[in-house]
Amino acid sequence: MRSFSAFVMVVAVGTAAINQPALAAQPAGTGTGFLISKDNWIVTNAHVVEDCSYVEVASLGKAKNIQIDKQNDLAILQLTSLKPEIQPLKLRNTSPRLGEDVAALGYPLAQILSDGIKITMGNINSLIGLENDTRYLQISTPIQPGNSGGPLVDRSGYLLGINSARLNDSYAIKQSGSIPQNVNFAIKSNILELFLQSRNIAFEKDGDANSPQLSSVDLTEKVSNSVFQIVCYADRPAKIAAAPIENTDQHIRKLPPLPKVQATEDQDANDRVAEFVKLMINSNNDATTALRVADRLYADYVDFFGKRLSHYEVLQDKRKYFDRWPVRSSYVNENSIRVQCENNLCAVTGEYDWFVSSPQRKKKASGTASFYYVVDMQTGGKIVAEGGKARK
């Protein structure tokens, strides 16, 4: 199951369709929401609830009256009833201040961590978002998949924003050559205020930057009861790589052992990461082997050429490419490989020579391609981002 977290600077890329039997709605992803109104309205991000067959608020039931503002990445949904002791969060009367302490609450990485609420502390790093977007705050508070839609509050528990996005690793690598650290974004509460007003949804404002500050423990107790996990259900197959692959067992036995990637900073670790990526690229010469390797190496969600795709969608995209070009070869230029590791993420860049042919279509092409991969070493070496550009 995916967890929702928006990624900045996204570029569309096509994916292939694999015929699948119709299935009942499956849990497709999770995010976070919080109570904003005594009429049981809950706020979250638009990207958490769009394209869902239906939405549930964990342990509280199915949501109704879902309304979305895609442009500002905001959504509201309503529950039939809530316990009276659950109180809405209040927007702060005054604007956020540069450098002030903030807390993000939510349900990150629900498929890995515990299912309880999490709180992380940080600061407001900028009053303006990416490319001078005034709708956003830049914050150091870590935002993980599943945090999307959760509240960003000040030390008094008043709402300052809605946790929404982090800087896309691939975009940062291409622009600056380095992996970003704690560059995250929240939609300002005044954008939410306009959104609620346009829909005649009542909310409350209170407090200011000088209100009494709470300890982290007291802050969590004050806010957490109003924060909920949001579950998206969608009519799609839940099984990853469900398309049949012929002679699977035979090809698995032929695969070389995967390099052991561990969270260290020595040259041996860098060499292992480089071997890891070379295996990924060179395996493309055989479709069955390539799909099997990809199934083992890609993370549950991948920034795939600028677009956030599931493991399942990445495999679909690769199968479409292999079907279009059944004859392929690719060989990495080992002298071009560069590895940079920070905070258990390793970015691997380089070039490889490629050749593709389709005898049925009487077409062929060749050239050189640049590539980059980002490998998460904490997960034992899973690819979390891929990109590049081919040159004929």
Q: Cβ distance 104 to 152 under 8 Å? A: yes
Q: What is the pLDDT of residues 72-97, one digit of tens each?
A: 999 999 999 888 889 999 999 999 99
Separation CA 105–CA 8 (nearest Å): 21
Number of other residues whose CB lies within 10 A of the CB of residue 63 = 25
Confidence category of residue 9, pLDDT binned at 50, 70, 90: very low
pLDDT for 12: 27
Distance, in Å, from the CA atom of 6 to the CA atom of 310, rounded to the nearest integer, reads 13
Q: Pull the structure tokens for residue 360.
A: 């049925």
β strands within 182-235, DSSP E: 184-188, 205-206, 227-234
Q: Model confidence over 130-173: pLDDT tens digits? A: 878 899 999 998 887 788 999 999 999 999 999 998 776 556 56
pLDDT value of position 134: 93
pLDDT of residue 356: 84
Displacement of CA 72 from its chain's centroid (Å): 18
Task: Inform me whether the pLDDT recorded for 303 exceeds 70.
Answer: yes
Query: Which ranges in the chain are annotated with CATH 2.40.10.120?
Result: 2-234
Question: Domain 2-234 class?
Answer: mainly beta
Residue 26 has pLDDT above 60, yes or no: no
Give the model's pLDDT for residue 206. Answer: 93
* CA-wise closest residue to 31 among 91, 92, 108, 95: 108
Q: Give the mean pLDDT of the chain.
A: 79
Beta bridge partners of 7: 166
Tell me, what DSSP letter sits at residue 213? P
Please give the single-letter amino acid code of residue 39: D
Cα–Cα distance measured from residue 167 to residue 151, given in angstroms and rounded to the nearest whole number: 18
Query: Which run of H or E residues covers position 254?
Result: helix 248-254
Query: Taking 60 as the threshold, does the pLDDT of residue 263 lie above it?
Result: no
- Who wins on pLDDT, 317 or 255? 317
Q: Residues with Cβ < 8 Å from 135, sequence gap 6 or more?
A: 72, 129, 187, 188, 191
Map residue 209 onto helix, strand or coil: coil
Enumerate the CATH 3.10.450.50 domain ranges in the chain, comma separated.
248-391
The pLDDT of residue 109 is 73
Residue indicated by tokens 């495999």: 315
Q: Cβ distance 128 to 54 under 8 Å?
A: no
Q: Does domain 248-391 have CATH number 3.10.450.50?
A: yes
- Which two tokens mark 371? 């590539």
Does the pLDDT of residue 179 top 90, yes or no? no
Say if residue 319's pLDDT is above 70.
yes
Whether the CB-CB separation of 89 and 153 falls below 8 Å is answered with yes
The yes-or-no verdict on residue 368 having pLDDT over 50 is: yes
Grouping H, G, I as helix, E, B as strand and the rest as coil, residue 257 is coil
Residue 321 CB-density burial (10 A; 0-12 exposed, 13-18 middle, 19+ buried):
middle
Output the pLDDT for position 130.
Answer: 81
One DSSP character per residue, 164-186 reads EEE--HHHHHHHHSS---S-EEE
* 185 phi/psi in degrees, rounded to 5: -135, 145
